[in-house]
């Protein structure tokens, strides 16, 4: 029986010739991630069990991004706990606020060239699935798993069944990877890929930028997937070559799916048929094409996060906002996803466009995405956000509402004051 990409990676890391769905395996890990919320409990478990030293100081990444810069005393203590541990363990990839390379974890790990095709990665954060865009197996775990893996360098998995998502055609203007993943989640529901591996294939893959692929894999968890994964192509190699120390020229030969790999189901998406999408409260699967619903007035717009905080996203936002101003009464908050993206926005004149348009530009942080800080919603407020979750109370009061969308729809909505297509501004 042939294997999927995910099965190939898991079997390689478990030292096995073959892996089949349902197998329980122990896999060696290439990279482990923790943040300021999930790492302190992992450290407690690590120390309580007297694990001593981490298995490899160069394979652990710690990022204080959720409530940092520290929003209160509790978050300050959490960040300090992680910082002190990282220092005492000599963790190579501890990122401090303001450092080059710092930012929202799922923006910076790929951008800093830390994830390679064929890697097995875990992170104590559900959106660790983002790195599948680079041809890696990458998934979220809990703090206990992180603690044990920091000591052992390995963890166990149940090998997932796979769903193939066959992409064809080309995206239309104002449509991006965000719309593609919202479209898919709308089709299959929030549990439509439960514990499955979502493997994206087909001629349409080549039409997607790396930013599109990262956004799509980022939200694989929002339909329950264990991981999302893209094949490695010229765009992946070019992306990595510019970021990996010493360059990157070729993916491992063993990585690609076998022609007779078994998929439980194949879903075909014609990219040319995907419209600009919005997910209404309170589930990512509650999708609607922009223009098919009544005028929905909003109070706030957030552009950023691990889903849409990359330079490509900032450029798209700036293209819509240039020479325009946010509507009266609207708060538009823009969060470049990393220090590097922030600097690129600065040098390329995007910050000026945002400020002239009446936007608030924040330091790179998760901030409002999880209702933490920098844009928490009050009772009854509505927000269009480029983040990935719109559950009850996700960005603030339990009676606030979050509408998920791509960057261009979010920026156009800020200008109009209601959920709008960028086409309305032409």
Sheet bearing 300-303, strands edge to edge: 287-289, 277-279, 401-405, 382-385, 300-303, 331-334, 360-361
Backbone torsions φ then ψ of 420, nearest 5 degrees: -140, 155
Name which position in 139, 285, 305, 362 contacts ligand SF4 (CB under 6 A). Answer: 305
- Contact with ligand SF4 (CB under 6 A): which of 370, 382, 418, 425? 370
- CB closer to ligand SF4 out of 237 and 370: 370
Instruction: Output 104 or 357, the one with its CB closest to ligand SF4.
Output: 104
Q: Determine, following the binding rule CB under 6 A, whether residue 366 of this chain makes contact with ligand SF4.
A: yes
Contact call for residue 125 and ligand SF4 (CB under 6 A): yes
Count the residues of the shown chain that bind ligand SF4, applying the rule CB under 6 A: 13
Footprint of ligand SF4 on 387-406 (CB under 6 A): 387-388
Q: Which is nearer to ligand SF4, 5 or 278 (CB)?
A: 278
Between residues 66 and 226, which has the closer beta carbon with respect to ligand SF4? 66
Residue carrying structure tokens 């929002």: 222
Q: Which is nearer to ligand SF4, 8 or 127 (CB)?
A: 127
Q: Is 121 in the site for ligand SF4 (CB under 6 A)?
A: no
Interface with ligand SF4, residue 363, by CB under 6 A: no
The yes or no reply on residue 373 touching ligand SF4 (CB under 6 A) is no
306 in contact with ligand SF4 (CB under 6 A): yes
Q: State how far the Cα of 287 lies from the Cα of 273, in Å rounded to an integer.
A: 15
**Among residue numbers 48 through 107, which ones bind ligand SF4 (CB under 6 A)?**
66, 104-106
Subset of 205-244 contacting ligand SF4 (CB under 6 A): none
Measured from the CB atom, is 11 or 75 closer to ligand SF4? 75
Residues that bind ligand SF4 (CB under 6 A): 66, 104-106, 125, 127, 305-306, 366, 369-370, 387-388
């Amino acid at each position: 029986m042939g294997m999927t990409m995910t099965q190939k990676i898991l079997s390689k890391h478990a030292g096995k010739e073959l892996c089949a769905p349902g197998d329980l395996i122990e896999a060696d890990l290439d990279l482990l991630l923790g943040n300021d919320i999930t790492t302190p409990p992992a450290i407690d478990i690590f120390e309580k069990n007297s694990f001593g030293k981490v298995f490899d100081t160069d394979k652990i990444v710690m990022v204080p991004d959720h409530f940092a810069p520290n929003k209160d005393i509790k978050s300050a203590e959490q960040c300090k706990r992680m910082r002190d541990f990282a220092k005492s363990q000599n963790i190579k990839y501890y990122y401090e606020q303001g450092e080059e390379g710092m930012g929202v974890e799922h923006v910076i790990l790929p951008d800093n060239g830390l994830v390679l095709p064929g890697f097995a990665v875990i992170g104590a954060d559900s959106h660790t699935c983002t790195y599948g865009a680079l041809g890696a197996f990458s998934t979220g775990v809990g703090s206990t798993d992180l603690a044990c893996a920091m000591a052992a360098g390995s963890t166990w998995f149940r090998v997932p069944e796979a769903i193939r998502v066959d992409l064809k055609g080309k995206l239309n203007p104002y449509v991006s990877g965000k719309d593609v993943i919202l479209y898919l989640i709308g089709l299959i529901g929030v549990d439509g890929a439960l514990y499955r591996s979502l493997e994206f294939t087909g001629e349409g893959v080549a039409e997607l930028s790396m930013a599109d692929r990262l956004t799509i894999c980022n939200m694989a968890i929002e339909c329950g997937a264990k991981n999302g994964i893209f094949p490695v192509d010229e765009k992946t190699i070019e992306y990595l070559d510019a970021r990996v120390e010493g360059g990157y020229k070729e993916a491992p030969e063993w990585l690609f799916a076998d022609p007779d790999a078994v998929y439980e189901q194949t879903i075909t998406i014609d990219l040319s048929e995907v419209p600009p999408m919005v997910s209404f409260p309170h589930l990512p699967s509650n999708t609607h094409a922009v223009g098919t619903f009544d005028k929905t007035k909003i109070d706030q717009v957030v552009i950023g996060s691990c889903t849409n905080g990359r330079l490509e996203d900032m450029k798209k936002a700036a293209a819509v906002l240039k020479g325009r101003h946010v509507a009266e009464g609207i708060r538009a908050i823009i969060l470049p996803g990393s220090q590097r993206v922030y600097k690129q926005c600065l040098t390329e004149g995007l910050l000026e466009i945002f400020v002239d348009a009446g936007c608030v530009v924040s330091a790179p942080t998760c901030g409002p995405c999880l209702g933490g800080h920098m844009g928490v919603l009050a009772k009854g407020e509505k927000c269009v956000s480029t983040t990935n979750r719109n559950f009850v109370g996700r960005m603030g009061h339990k009676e606030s509402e979050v509408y998920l969308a791509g960057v261009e729809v979010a920026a156009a909505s800020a200008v109009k004051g209601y959920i709008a297509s960028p086409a309305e501004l032409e």
